[in-house]
Structure 1
Amino acid sequence: MLNTPATQKLLERRVKSLGPAYVHFYQEPVHLVKGKGVWMWDEDGRKYLDCYNNVASVGHCHPDVVEALYRQAQKLNTHTRYLHNSAVEYAEMLAETLPGEISIANLVCTGSEANDYACQIARRVTGNFGLIILNRAYHGSTTLIRELSPEIRDEAAPDYVYEIDAPNTYRGRYSGDPEAFADHHAGLVDEAIEVLKDRGHGVAALLIDSIYDSPGIFAPPPAYQQKLFAKVRAAGGLIIADEIQSGLCRLGDNYWGVMDSGVTPDIIAMGKPMGGGHPLAVTATTPAIMQEYVDRGGDYFNTFAGNPVSAEVGKAVLEVVSRDNLLANVKETSRHLLTGLNALAEKHDIIGDVRGKGFFLAVELVRDRTSKAPAGEETIRAVEWMKDNGVLVSRIGWDANIMKIRPPLVFGKHHADLALETLDAALTAL
């Protein structure tokens, strides 16, 4: 056991002061006090390799990000109803990375806000109200976006929401046939469109991830998004790409995961990695869509979003990503990591599947590879064992039997080797 009396006391104080709604990772939570790069330290000086946090995208406490925050905080921090350079410069830098005609960046504070605002734009521009989402998706925690997040929503979906199956490339129907797989899921969109029309809502948007996290980290073939996008657009709806977890080079081939499928959405929602640990998020769209939104009576203001401090932090993150060529690092290191994970799958029968892209990987544990019976309890033990031995990962999925590996973009091959050695030892110890 790693928890000290001081940590237990802090946990008790947290429950008393913050309430029981907050949850924490791990059966024995970690009391962290410092971070640098891919490392974090607890209150007793124990060092942990962070294989999970994509919020600190360029590494914990990157000196360039810290300096940008500190420098601007000494000068001015206000909102966008005054003119200042920082928000404009950040939006211009961001536009250079975006696909197609997307070049308008409205700054928000969180991914939940980014998705919420994207839905508002889609509804006003299309004149429709219905929204198509994927089963078990998570898009955020505002009232609207919670209704679009079956991962956390307990009640039935509102009648203006239609859920289609997630693209399960391991257990799903037609998972062995990419073309039939894409056609099957396109057929589910046809059904969703008809139901939403019959209910009088029409289709405002498809809200879709570029890699499907909460259901189990699935990266379907490009034809999947290509066919879904075409169906929704033919019905008069827009495409909202949720890049809050998959964006900013995480998948290794492009800055934004949706580009991997050779398609361009109408709106991109960005969040977690954009501020390198600082709360910064963006809803980006085309000039034509934004003009239509305004012409139909839409407007936007947010007291904190777009403030100079946040914008300077965002600029620093983009500068580090470009200067240090982190996209190439993700691709190269991910290839090394995936090779190692597949080698472990040859050694450990409990590994049923290794999948994902870039620094967004899944290791699914099963009790039997033929039946694919989920090994949920074993996954808990493996994740806890790794934590106790200095490597932080998490677990997800319908049966919580999928190990999630999602390190900062600065994660290198020597870090991957340590993670692989620890995973090997954890599975051997089961």
Structure 2
Amino acid sequence: MGSMEARTTSENGSAPKGNENQQQPEDGSQDRVLAGNPPENDASGKRKAGVLPLEVGTRVMCRWRDGKFHPVKVIERRKIPCGVPSDYEYYVHYTEYNRRLDEWVKLEQLDLDSVETDVDEKVEDKATSLKMTRHQKRKIDETHVEGHEELDAASLREHEEFTKVKNIATIELGRYEIETWYFSPFPPEYNDCSKLFFCEFCLNFMKRKEQLQRHMRKCDLKHPPGDEIYRNGTLSMFEVDGKKNKVYGQNLCYLAKLFLDHKTLYYDVDLFLFYVLCECDDRGCHMVGYFSKEKHSEESYNLACILTLPPYQRKGYGKFLIAFSYELSKKEGKVGTPERPLSDLGLVSYRGYWTRVLLDILKKHKGNISIKELSDMTAIKAEDILTTLQGLDLIQYRKGQHVICADPKVLDRHLKAAGRGGLEVDVSKLIWTPYKEQG
């Protein structure tokens, strides 16, 4: 499983408008001629607006929810029910941004004057690459395989083809309706559902609101089906054993995949423990996010997947989950590291956590300190400490060994850049026995 914290800027779970690593559309974007108003003389390289429906692979400008036009590529098309035979809607990928923004759009959102003629993609890519610097091309290549570094080219194409269209557009979970980000391989009988209704306690999902209402009248769960191992105020953490609660674990994976592009969906959840973070009130314990962890990891992985649900993002919960995973490692008496590959957002979150933890220690510590000592104090793997400090230019290699250079002003500058640390884990409220020590 990969790891990535899903992000959004909306409290109601609406689709995101990018993330820290993606710039927003420029305010100065130019409006273009709308569909149905093509100029009399198209320039070369344009397709006549009358040639409809648009073919899969067509590149065109599309009006997004910000009211501005952005370049898209048509990924799929389908006929509109009850429409005339020529009426189609199109599933498009905004080429400037992450796949999570892909969506179905109506013809009137497309600027037919901007439609490009069919171009062989290999020729197009070659022509484009000649205009890019090596750095730009490397950034494009990294984007193409984001989160899929373990896949070869053929497997990556197969993955993108299989998951190119979101099958579930929205879900209802508790008091939130949330727009999804990615494809999730729900059972075939759910293929015709654009919206699913989840029980927020047992995570069973249904096709209709009435089914959910009937289910809620008889569902006796008010929290995840596991042991409560942490309670601090209204915040609670439950440990769910995938072997003891197989259906819950599988449903959680289906749900998480809607917001994680490269997560591998494990149907055999017996090997994993799920740590589900909840906000609690008089109605019950409501899932905020979770991370999963292998019961036995040969590679010292202390986290497999991590997700904060969109309505609860930007509140420090993702950082809390990362910190919690390291507190469990300390209780186990071993160092830990997240499972690779990390997604773009996952890497940003972890680098921020590692930076804050390490620099806080370096600021307070008097005298020399080794990477081994830092690892023992934090449960962070030595390799992660080394790469973090090297990335901050705080480490040098002298006389056969690494030397940490901790100038107070430099540390303060890096700490400020790393941002706030999020919610803290009160270790005194953690009541937990490592899995290997459980009966």
Interval containing the TM-score (normalised by the shorter chain): under 0.3
TM-score (norm 1): 0.23
Larger radius of gyration: 2
Could you say which structure has the higher helix fraction? Answer: 1
Taking structure 2 as the reference length, the TM-score comes to 0.23
